Chain A
Amino acid sequence: MNTKVKIAGVEFKNPVMTASGTFGSGMEYSDFVDLSKLGAVVTKGVAAKPWAGNDTPRIAETYGGMLNAIGLQNPGIDTFIERDLAFLKDYDTKVIVNVCGKTVEEYLEVVERLGHEKRVDLLEINVSCPNVKEGAIAFGQDPKALSHITKEIKKKAVQPVIMKLSPNVTDIALMAKTAEEAGADAISLINTITGMKIDIYRKKFALANKTGGLSGPAIKPVAVRMVYQAAHAVSIPVIGMGGIGNAEDALEFIMAGATAVAIGAMNFVNPYATVETIEGIEAFMKSQGVEDIGQLIGAVN
């Protein structure tokens, strides 16, 4: 039985990854999960300099989901390389580094620094975070801006580039095609859906940032639909995410056309969700007599 998948020439032992921002750099979840079992660890968005992020409250629970407005707090690329990447050296898993910035130059600075790091297998470019005022999401919502930043990053990147798309657009297929035409090696989706919660007793927004990104099971049907549309619009590999918590969820995305999947908010619900999903996919393949995971990718048309 084969669970290996390939994205931009990089081979993953299985299609299950962590979703950026929900798993740190793996350190905090290594009490629960043997990171070497994962297809890849996708790290929290990192910028050229440390970012303080938003005020609290940054988290609000919603029915079947959660809103977050962390605001891409991160320790900056220096600390990330010295501490987080160094930590991951001991594990036999692929490393995808999620990159954020406020200007094209800031993204490029991080991309160039990471070019020297052998431990980094791929880059995931976050042009879709709804929680920062400047930059970021504008790149992900305007096809021209997306095309521009993708091209600039491809010129400088040593590792293959995954563009992470925003669901906060009218035509996801157009954004997927734009990324592909600009040279992206793969795309990932969906990032969180912009939402809002109001505390009616305090007459206040639940989040200090007013709006936040919705994730978790509540967004799964939207995510499956968008992954399906994106996968049919492009020929580069698609990494699917949005509410995945177990093998059944993951297989929906795979059958919709995702080559790999990532688990985000559900790590908070079940810290063992990643490994259990891998085991569940293997059990499914065994019971259904599927020899190669490749047979399931895009199986539903």
Chain B
Amino acid sequence: MTGKAGENSIMEKKKVTAIIRRQEQIAEDIYDLWLETDLCMEAKAGQFVSVYPPDGALLLPRPISICKIDKNAGLIRLVYRAVGNGTRIFSGMHSGHKLEILGVLGNGFPIEKADEKSVFVMGGGIGIPPMLQTVISLQERSKAKNINAVLGYRNERFLMDEFSMHCLAYAATEDGSYGTKGNVMDVLREHSLRADVIFACGPMPMLRAIKEFSAQNGIEAYISLEERMACGVGACLGCVCKTKEIDAHSKVNNSRICTDGPVYYAPDVEI
């Protein structure tokens, strides 16, 4: 394996019917969706599910990260931005409606890498949701020395209060309306924050900056990547990213994000 990120999930993948238990809008175009599904028993931080639009003309399932797992209530929570036809249909659905989902997909964050270390959990934009369960899982494991969340928003904040319940959370807004004006990297500079490990999800420029920053400062960084997907299970080779070394599965410098990712040890991938 190229990746030193988390091991593949050995759980069986399934397509199941989930029931919407709650959905509300929490910011402009941002929706907070709670699904009842027994996939929650197998899910972990940084993994995702793929949600089928209930419209036969929209064929492909939409990959959405798991924002929070509630095993007791049998729920998983997805927080997504309504951007196109599929997510717009989801945003109009209500409690009691059903959604077909494929899961649990991907490897997830290797939270044990933060044992005895101080860790930054960094999220940018719609990359913020999966970092909430990451913070919760780190707190539950209670082996990390210190957990800081660093969240980057365009302007309007969401989920920030919940991060603050589990760790110290810093924010940046592009317009400076809250916290540091700028992006997540500006937060690190402004507060002179230090960490040994970074877990991150967000837009490509942010991930590139983190990859560079972690290499320069000797920090172990794990980043979650995104790509267009079809099968979601590793069969179609649609969702690849470039890898530094030849990938064990593909025998070329391509790794399947849906199966061998989405989380990668930053030095392993060319982004």
Chain A residues with CB under 8 Å of chain B are 21-24, 28-29, 31-32, 44, 50-53, 56-61, 63-66, 68, 70, 73, 75-76, 79, 216-217, 265, 267-272
Task: Check if A73 sits within 8 Å of B254, measured CB to CB.
Answer: yes
- The interface residues of chain A lying within 8 Å CB-to-CB of B61 are 268-269
- The interface residues of chain A lying within 8 Å CB-to-CB of B241 are 56
Contact of A58 among B59, B233, B240, B251 (CB under 8 A): B240
| Distance from A93 Cβ to chain B, minimum over Cβ atoms (Å) | 16
Contact of A32 among B15, B59, B230, B238 (CB under 8 A): B15
With A28-B259, A31-B14, A52-B253 known to touch, is A267 a contact of B231 (CB < 8 Å)?
A: yes
Task: Check if A52 sits within 8 Å of B254, measured CB to CB.
Answer: yes
Task: Check if A268 sits within 8 Å of B230, measured CB to CB.
Answer: yes
Give the number of residue pairs across the A-B interface with Cβ within 8 Å: 107
Q: Which stretch, B30-38, B50-58, B162-170, B182-190, touches the partner chain A? A: B50-58
Q: Is B229 an interface residue (CB 8 A)?
A: yes
Task: Check if A68 sits within 8 Å of B230, measured CB to CB.
Answer: yes
| Distance from B61 Cβ to chain A, minimum over Cβ atoms (Å) | 8
Contact of B250 among A50, A265, A271 (CB under 8 A): A50
Contact with A along B113-144 (1 / 0, CB 8 A): 00000000000000000000000000000000
For this complex, 23 residue pairs linking A to B, each with C-beta atoms less than 8 Å apart, are A22-B235, A32-B15, A50-B252, A51-B252, A52-B252, A53-B237, A56-B238, A56-B241, A57-B227, A58-B228, A58-B239, A59-B60, A59-B229, A61-B60, A64-B56, A64-B57, A64-B59, A68-B238, A75-B250, A217-B59, A268-B230, A268-B236, A269-B60
With A61-B58, A269-B60 known to touch, is A50 a contact of B236 (CB < 8 Å)?
A: no
- The interface residues of chain A lying within 8 Å CB-to-CB of B232 are 268
Contact of B233 among A44, A70, A76, A271 (CB under 8 A): A271
- The interface residues of chain B lying within 8 Å CB-to-CB of A58 are 228, 237-240
The 5 tightest CB contacts between A and B, nearest first, are A75-B251, A24-B235, A28-B235, A59-B238, A59-B228
| Nearest opposing residue in chain A for B52, CB measure | A269
Residue of A31, A44, A58, A65 with most partner-chain B CB within 10 A: A58
| Distance from A273 Cβ to chain B, minimum over Cβ atoms (Å) | 10
Residue of A24, A53, A59, A268 with most partner-chain B CB within 10 A: A268
Task: Check if A63 sits within 8 Å of B57, measured CB to CB.
Answer: yes
| Distance from A100 Cβ to chain B, minimum over Cβ atoms (Å) | 13
Contact with A along B152-175 (1 / 0, CB 8 A): 000000000000000000000000
Task: Check if A22 sits within 8 Å of B236, measured CB to CB.
Answer: yes
- The interface residues of chain A lying within 8 Å CB-to-CB of B252 are 50-53, 73, 75
Contact of B13 among A23, A32, A52 (CB under 8 A): A32
12 new A-B contacts, CB < 8 A, other than A76-B251, A268-B230, are A22-B235, A52-B254, A56-B238, A59-B230, A59-B238, A61-B58, A64-B57, A68-B238, A70-B236, A217-B56, A268-B231, A269-B59
**How many B residues, CB 8 Å from partner?**
34
Chain B residues with CB under 8 Å of chain A are 12-15, 52, 56-61, 102, 227-241, 249-254, 259
Task: Check if A73 sits within 8 Å of B250, measured CB to CB.
Answer: yes
| Nearest opposing residue in chain A for B86, CB measure | A61
Task: Check if A23 sits within 8 Å of B235, measured CB to CB.
Answer: yes
Contact of A28 among B15, B231, B253, B254 (CB under 8 A): B231
Query: How far apart are the CA atoms of A68 and B228 in the complex, in Å?
Result: 10
- The interface residues of chain A lying within 8 Å CB-to-CB of B227 are 56-57
With A28-B259, A56-B228, A269-B59 known to touch, is A21 a contact of B236 (CB < 8 Å)?
A: yes
Task: Check if A53 sits within 8 Å of B259, measured CB to CB.
Answer: no
- The interface residues of chain A lying within 8 Å CB-to-CB of B59 are 61, 64-66, 216-217, 265, 268-269
| Distance from B40 Cβ to chain A, minimum over Cβ atoms (Å) | 18
Query: How far apart are the CA atoms of A24 and B59 in the complex, in Å?
Result: 19
| Nearest opposing residue in chain A for B241, CB measure | A56
Task: Check if A272 sits within 8 Å of B15, measured CB to CB.
Answer: yes
Query: How far apart are the CA atoms of A247 and B260 in the complex, in Å?
Result: 33
- The interface residues of chain B lying within 8 Å CB-to-CB of A64 are 56-57, 59
